[in-house]
Amino acid sequence: MKLYYDFHMHSCLSLCAEDDMTPANIAGMASLAGLDAFALSDHQTAKNCPACAFHAAQHGLLFLPAMELCTREEVHVLCLFAELRHALAFTEYVGQRLLITPPARKRVLWRQTIMDENDEPVGEEPLWLGSPADIGIYDTAALVREAGGLAIPAHLDRPSSSIIANLGLYDPAMGFSVCELTAGCDQERFVSEHPELRGMRFIRGGDAHDLASIPDRQWTIDVAERTPQAVLCALSGRG
């Protein structure tokens, strides 16, 4: 079956997202946009995914818990999971490897809000999620796979925080099976400029940080069944 998707968006738990990007609002807007499946991919954490999963179910949407990992090289990588428990366990793993801890006095400037199923704040994340993690890009694909997920280099064509921007090229030895491009990328031209990407599978992502930026449905994925496991299988090329 064909699913309209967007696997890249941020909630109010991400420093760079707007306050109204709450789990309930995100799920509601995803429904209005005509999506069938979506993921919540906050920076370095999946702690708002339980609430988002609840609200996605209220709208009959397929939800994938996720995070946008920032590696040691400051490369962003989407990490999609089929199960919440795997996403939350990986959150703990990443949290123990964040490289930067700003002075306590700077915490008053943070706004990293964790929400509950009633769309109410239940706390602030004490770790600074803007920090890279001590996880290398050559280790990421295997590490996420072992954790029960799928790693997808994010916004590969973006001039910052991407493999191409930070490292100069994509190395197949990194082991990724699919990469993400931005909504407006000319895929044919981009691949011609980076021939090492020939044969790579691609998805698109909206990378929404505010409600108005959640795009109307436009990207589809073919899956064997309407489950998170089938989505990961299709993305990885195994289905």
- CATH number of the domain encompassing residue 159: 3.20.20.140
pLDDT band at 238 (very low <50, low <70, confident <90, very high): confident
Element housing 40 (H / E)? strand 37-43
Beta-sheet strand order (sheet of 220-222)? 149-153, 76-81, 62-70, 37-43, 2-6, 220-222
Tens-place pLDDT, residues 7-22: 999 999 999 999 999 9
Contact 203, 176 (CB under 8 A): no
How far is the CA of 219 from the CAs of 84, 146, 179, 206, 239, in angstroms?
A: 24, 28, 14, 10, 18
pLDDT at 239 over 80: no
Tens-place pLDDT, residues 170-182: 999 999 999 999 9
Tens-place pLDDT, residues 60-93: 999 999 999 999 999 999 999 999 999 999 999 9
Residue with the two structure tokens 């949290």: 95
* Amino acid at site 23: P
Contacts of 106 (CB under 8 A, 6+ apart): none
pLDDT at 57 over 70: yes
How is residue 27 written in tokens? 């799920």
Tens-place pLDDT, residues 108-159: 667 899 999 999 999 999 899 999 999 999 999 999 999 999 999 999 999 9
Q: Which residue range is the domain that position 16 belongs to?
A: 2-235
Question: Across the chain, what does the average pLDDT equal?
Answer: 96
What is the average per-residue pLDDT within 93-114? Answer: 85
Contacts of 212 (CB under 8 A, 6+ apart): none
Rounded to whole angstroms, the Cα distance separating 177 from 6 reads 18
State if pTM tops 0.85.
yes
What is the average per-residue pLDDT within 198-216? Answer: 97
Q: How many domains does the chain have?
A: 1
How is residue 135 written in tokens? 């996880």
